A and B are shown apart, each in its own frame.
Chain A
Amino acid sequence: MNGDPGEAGGRPPLRTRVVLGEAAAARRASPDPVRADLAEQTPVGEALVKGLVRAQLALAIRLSLVVAAGLGALPLLFAVAPAVGRVKVLGVNLPWLLLGLFSFPFLLGVGWAYVRWAERNEQDFTAVIRRPEA
């Protein structure tokens, strides 16, 4: 490989430098009509992006409230009503079952719902952007 620009006698160097984060490279991407509409921040483009961000954030917050209510309230519940801790299901105290067993499928279920709905939000956004182009 002839990588040294000086040695190459004026030809552009063949080697490309790897830049971590690729931030600069992505920002200089080639112009594209769709990109221009959004990235030049016309009021319409700006409103669309804000709408998407708001929808995704609202979804994330709603689901974290579900977790806060479902899991986060448990220590308080156990403190306020100690009798709950003494309830036995199949010979095991309820707090052990709730924390040791059921919390994990619960978290997974919430995550699954989030992925589904977040992807739907993105599809809606894509559809709005693409419609005028089609």
Chain B
Amino acid sequence: MNPYVVPGLVVVVLVTIGIGAYGLRFARTTSDFLVASRSVSPSWNAAAISGEYLSAASFLGVAGLVLRYGVDVLWYPVGFAAGYLALLLFVAAPLRRSGAFTLPDFCQVRLRSPLLRRLATVFVVFIGCLYLVPQLQGAGLTFTTVTGAPYEWGALLVGVVVTANVALGGMRAITFVQAFQYWLKLTALAVPVIFLVLQWQSDGRPAVTPPTGSVFATSTTVVVQQDAVLDGITEVHAGQELSFAAGDRVPEVSSVDDNRGAAWLLPGGDASLFATYSLILATFLGTMGLPHVLVRFYTNPDGASARRTTLVVLGLVGLFYLLPTLYGVLGRVYTPQLLMTGQTDAVVLLLPEAALGGGHLGQFLGALVTAGALAAFLSTSSGLLTSVAGVVFTDILHAERGGSVRDFRLATVLAAVLPLGLSLYVSNMDVSRVVGLAFAVAASSFCPLLVLGIWWRGLTDVGAAAGILAGGGAAMTAVLLTVMGPPLDGRYAQLIAQPAAWTVPLAFVVMVAGSLLTKRRIPSDIGATMLRLHAPEELRL
């Protein structure tokens, strides 16, 4: 095992706890705890938002998808970044001006409906869990890959560190932790990639898509995990060891779905136009509905700085997403055995040692990316937990009857127990896919609520609730079918696997129609609310 990994992981955990504890010294009141007393500067805040956003799906999943499927999945990183543009254009400044801290708060401010508030709470908790479970699972799987220790330990370790940090430090601490973790994640991918590209140059630029199909760069032994058929001819059985020499062609494995040759290199492989546009809609519009993203906007002092912060986030996130693609492409050259095992999510972790050899440089860079992966799990799950705990705190524990720091800690533990338990018992969910589904649910529920709520005077509570139930409910059902149901086939399978292309328009249509039918329920103070959402603060309205 790589001798640098354990010290690297220990340093990340200790620094995380250390910064959290340092932040704790400033967290004295509930407001410090939740909103950092608005004393966070925009650059810190932008780094924190980015750090919180770049999850396991971004750090490991995107490179894995690129390795496996090629150019079609580049829409994932593009969409993950473009989500911030949609947020900037339609939501950032007015949302900050609304003074809402969470999505349920926004329902209260804009539509004054306790019922809608409760509905929003259900969706926040659902999306939060849907996003949190794969983070913890990813942590467990990384832990197993790198140390060989049991999966449960990795998930538990990250779960406990995160829960303790959120419960003890609150958001003030989290802001600094998240900002640190953005830079750690960027460094952890950027430094190794320089060495990887140099290595690729000095190896004489081996072709990424050789005409004869992918070949092994070095002699490799692959242990078969489950019975499969190679190249449609040779049957292999679990436990069998297959040895390949350098230059051997990588056989196609029947149990692993991947794209080879032109299907990998050129667009339109097996992804249909419907699936591509569905993914684009989900990621472009889903970001604004993710609970842990919105909470952060409250830490901006005013609407204009919320806009500037979002712009910086767009830059930071875009910078980061340049890197995973390179890992996926180079993985095609140096770790083609992952195409046989199907464990493509591990490409970022394995590539440095595979390309640079088992020397100190390769091992050190391998430890660096592993530390970055840990930072990805820690930061996203901290942010999610803070936001879900914030909602549990206000809407389930009813903290307005004297919210105390102790109640917030209780809310944090409550919010952590369910996803942690689920992540221990449900282990066959696919990380990047579940995260994509969370985007689809958010895009079909909160995106229409926010966009129509901010820009259209005619929205009513009944219309909003109907739209969320129709679009969000449909997306939620599709997600539950995908995650827990039997594998689907046939022409309708895509509608369930990538639901956003029909659930998002459905939510908008139902929301508008429902509001038009209940015009009398338009809040009487809508003029004042619109003024507050859109007028610059410098007027002190």
Mark interface residues in A41-67 (1 if CB within 8 Å of B CB, else 0). 100011001101100110010011001
CB contacts (< 8 Å) of A100 on chain B: these are 74, 77, 322, 325
Across chains A and B, the number of contacting residue pairs, with CB separation under 8 Å, is 168
CB contacts (< 8 Å) of A110 on chain B: these are 85
CB contacts (< 8 Å) of A122 on chain B: these are 304, 536
Binds A, one of B310-318, B349-357, B465-473: B310-318
Q: Bound complex: CA of A38 vs CA of B533, how far in Å?
A: 13
CB contacts (< 8 Å) of B384 on chain A: these are none
Interface size class of B (residues with CB under 8 A): 35 or more
Chain A interface, number of residues (Cβ within 8 angstroms): 59
A21-B267 contact, Cβ under 8 Å, with A107-B318, A108-B314: no
Q: Are A95 and B535 in contact (CB under 8 A)?
A: no
Q: Are A79 and B273 in contact (CB under 8 A)?
A: yes
Q: Are A71 and B78 in contact (CB under 8 A)?
A: yes
Interface residues of B in 17-35 (CB under 8 A from A): 29-31, 34
CB contacts (< 8 Å) of A56 on chain B: these are 534
Chain A at the B interface: SS class: helix
A32-B81 contact, Cβ under 8 Å, with A18-B403, A85-B268, A104-B321: no
Q: Are A93 and B266 in contact (CB under 8 A)?
A: yes
B108 to chain A, nearest CB (A): 6
B58 to chain A, nearest CB (A): 13
Closest Cβ neighbor of A78 among chain B residues: B267
Closest Cβ neighbor of B303 among chain A residues: A122
Q: Are B400 and A57 in contact (CB under 8 A)?
A: no
Contact partner of B109 (CB less than 8 A), chosen from A21, A46, A50, A111, is A21
A21-B74 contact, Cβ under 8 Å, with A93-B265, A101-B322: no
Interface residues of B in 399-438 (CB under 8 A from A): 399-400, 402-403
User: A-side interface residues toward B, CB under 8 Å?
Assistant: 17-23, 26-27, 32, 34-35, 38-39, 41, 45-46, 49-50, 52-53, 56-57, 60, 63-64, 67, 71-72, 75-76, 78-79, 82, 85-86, 93, 95-96, 99-101, 103-105, 107-108, 110-112, 114-115, 118-119, 122, 125-126, 129-130
Other contacts beyond A49-B534, A71-B82: 10, CB < 8 A = A20-B403, A46-B527, A50-B530, A53-B455, A72-B280, A96-B71, A108-B311, A108-B315, A110-B85, A114-B89
A-B contact pairs, 10 of them (CB 8 A): A18-B29, A21-B100, A38-B531, A39-B541, A53-B455, A53-B534, A75-B267, A95-B74, A99-B78, A115-B307
